[in-house]
Structure 1
Amino acid sequence: MSLPLSPSPSSVVAALRAAGCVFAEDEAELILGAARGPAELAAMVARRTEGLPLELVVGWAEFSGLRIAVEPGVFVPRRRTEFLVEQALDAAPHAALVVDLCCGSGAVGAALATALAPVELHAADIDPAAVDCARRNLAGHGGRVHQGDLYAALPGRLRGRVDILAANVPYVPTAEVGLLPAEARDHEPTVALDGGTDGLDVLRRVAAGARDWLAPGGCLLTETSGRQAPEAVAVLTRAGLTARPAVSEELHAHVVIGTR
């Protein structure tokens, strides 16, 4: 469905509804608020009706009350991951040093820094696009963002000092990546989704080094699925951490917490 030359709110809603957008009215309001003129509005509606995730259309995602900038090729933060932030703050309410590992857009780090300020914040990701995006989101929090593979990206001086190690690792089993919704499967980097044969390969690597980087009493938190949670707890336990699961029925979120 094409838009008229001067799109009205009703025509935007109609175009989104025709494309199958369940929350057409809410999405139209966000797109209308972000567009800087009729031409940009028409282009944004076209991108959305072609299947681009809404967050990438408007350029931001809401997360823990913040607007997190997102860009094509970067993992879009999920609202369920707000539960990981809540659990981190409950576990370490006075944390002085936070690391957001596999940071993507830096949403988790930004939320933790906002709640804990002042705090020393570091974030890391292997994907250059994610690093660039996270630098934008964390600049106002004094966050330092590093590119590299897990702990190899971090400054050595952080070893043994980290109070909160938030590692929102990829946890979709390789064989199930193709079954994800098209918005994730077609528009987000596979490296941010694919967790290996059983979905826990990256978590095993993070857990193996966690005790070396955590401060005494520091905690590692990671998101997982309900099906994987028992084994994720076992992975952290075998790595020498005191591990437990946490569940939010409201957000359909599962988090595993390991404490040194």
Structure 2
Amino acid sequence: MLTAADLRAHLLAARLAGVVGTTREESLRSYRLFAARDPRVLIGLDPEGAWGEREVLALMADRCGVSADPRHISGHDVIDVGRTLAGLDACAERLAAAARRGAAVLLGTGHPHRLLRFYAVLADALSAAGCTVLTPAQGRCVDITTRFGLRTYNLDYVRGVGLVRGAAPQRPGCEPGAHTHSPLPVRTALDAAAAVGGPLPELVIGDHGWVCAAGQLGFEAVGLADVNDPAPFVGQAEGVVSVVVPLDDGVRSGYYLPLTRYVLNRACLSQ
């Protein structure tokens, strides 16, 4: 069984926590954009508080362990490994509660190249425990504004995990799905589920817009977030998002699998 000490060592060695690949410049730029209420950074959240740059930086220092000094403007950012472990423990508690009641759950990711396998293993375990893993609006078109203009994607599910694919056919061997922060995929999924009378999810698990938009609509939402994505942490501070695990969301896909095993062990869902 993977212990907390084992996982701590893995998080630091894989740079999922500690000194991470995300740069300080990236983080500070996101905090400025969030303070300006840029929808690209809000990713479905509608904050109630007056979140200026300093307030966002102070929150991220508290929730993630980044430097609270606004004069620190370059280099690689830092995530406190203890906060990552605490977030994974809290996530495990939510999954265990969902499994006990056989809840309907919805999983989705805006980082399928990195995180699909992480969520897919969770989906398999929750399904085996009696949860209904929802896949509403499969194949539905979703128009998302990107830096290249308006693009049409298709909502799809791989092993129970929602993601979007480009409308054009992918080359054989390519990993599935496109990177997106948009809240539109989960809104599309939830609208479709409501339109047919449910079931609606009792728990949404994911990242980016999947977590923020679901939480904003009143669904219990838990997930992962990097230090250059302040919206989930602001949502957690305002009681909209239940659990956020701070970690680098851009490392190799296989590096996240020990985290999955740890969460499932803590939730007593190991298969």
TM-score by length of 1: 0.34
Report 1 or 2 for greater relative contact order, CA contacts < 8 Å, sequence distance ≥ 6. 2
Bigger Rg, structure 1 or 2: 1
